[in-house]
């Protein structure tokens, strides 16, 4: 309750009075510190848990991995990964996805791919996070090739993955890839999805294909300010 209300000092006081501090109590306190940007306090709790022999669980690791979102925190991320391996949590799809995301956000694409390749059951989430990593580092062609591989591997593509693919097309002026992704979007029934539709309109306007942009716009169930403005800019 104190954590949810942002009263971390009170939460810490109650925590300190507990006779039996189980992993749930530790995780709750760590979550509070992470959500309020107090990362040193969160990692101090993490170190205390290990010193006291508390059995960490997936929630502990997932919460801490969220904090490692840029290259300056990669040392923390690697330390957490080491503990994850020691604790036998590698192979947990949620943990693996978080590790792929962490390494991708930190620009460590080699490490992200190593985790991805070791995953027993690669999912839409893990593929998408890998694609995001490629895009972040400017490897747009590799991102598009991943998108091509997903259906061949029997992996479903969702709206987030399509948006990433369209972003890669926009950054490389890959008109043919954009047309191919559009065909997939229609096949999967996402053509009326507003964020996907808005992005498609933008892509076609960038390519100078205003008839195609208008066709997509006309199929949108909800026409946002973004899509209207994009179309107007295209005509201008």
pLDDT digit string (tens) for 86-96? 888 888 888 98
End-to-end CA distance of the chain: 54
Q: Judge whether 135 lies within some domain.
A: no
Whether 75 is covered by a domain: the verdict is no
Q: Which of 9, 27, 55 finishes a domain? A: 55
Averaged over 50-73, what is the pLDDT? 87
Last residue of a domain, one of 55, 73, 94: 55
Give the list of residues 6+ apart from residue 210 with CB closer than 8 angstroms, or none: 204, 234, 235
d(CA 67, CA 221): 37
Number of folded domains that form the chain: 2
3 state SS of 122 = coil
Last residue of a domain, one of 35, 55, 75: 55
Residue 234 lies in a domain: yes
DSSP state of 120: S
* Rounded Cα–Cα distance for residues 174 and 144 (Å): 10
Supply the range of the domain harboring residue 211.
155-236
Q: pLDDT per residue over 79-135, tens digit each?
A: 899 989 988 888 888 898 899 888 888 888 888 888 888 886 678 888 888 888 888
Residue 146 in domain: no
| CB atoms closer than 10 angstroms to residue 71 | 12
pTM of the entire predicted model: 0.70
């Amino acid at each position: 309750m104190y954590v949810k209300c942002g009263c971390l000092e009170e939460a810490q006081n109650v925590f300190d009075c507990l006779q039996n501090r189980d992993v749930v109590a530790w995780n709750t306190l760590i979550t509070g510190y992470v959500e309020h940007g107090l990362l040193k306090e969160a990692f101090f709790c993490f170190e205390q848990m290990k010193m006291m022999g508390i059995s960490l669980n997936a929630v502990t690791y997932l919460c801490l991995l969220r904090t490692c979102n840029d290259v300056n925190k990669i040392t923390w991320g690697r330390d957490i990964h080491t503990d994850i391996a020691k604790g036998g949590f590698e192979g947990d799809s949620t943990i693996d996805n978080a590790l792929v995301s962490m390494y991708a956000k930190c620009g460590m694409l080699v490490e992200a791919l190593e985790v991805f390749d070791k995953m027993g059951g690669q999912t839409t989430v893990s593929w998408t996070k890998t694609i995001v990593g490629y895009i972040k580092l400017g490897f747009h062609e590799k991102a598009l090739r991943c998108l091509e591989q997903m259906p061949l591997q029997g992996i479903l593509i969702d709206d987030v993955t399509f948006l990433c693919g369209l972003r890669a097309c926009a950054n490389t002026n890959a008109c043919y890839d954009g047309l191919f992704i559009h065909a997939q979007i229609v096949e999967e029934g996402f053509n009326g999805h507003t964020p996907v539709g808005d992005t498609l309109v933008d892509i076609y306007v960038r390519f100078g294909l205003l008839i195609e942009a208008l066709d997509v716009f006309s199929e949108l169930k909800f026409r946002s300010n973004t899509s209207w403005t994009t179309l107007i800019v295209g005509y201008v």
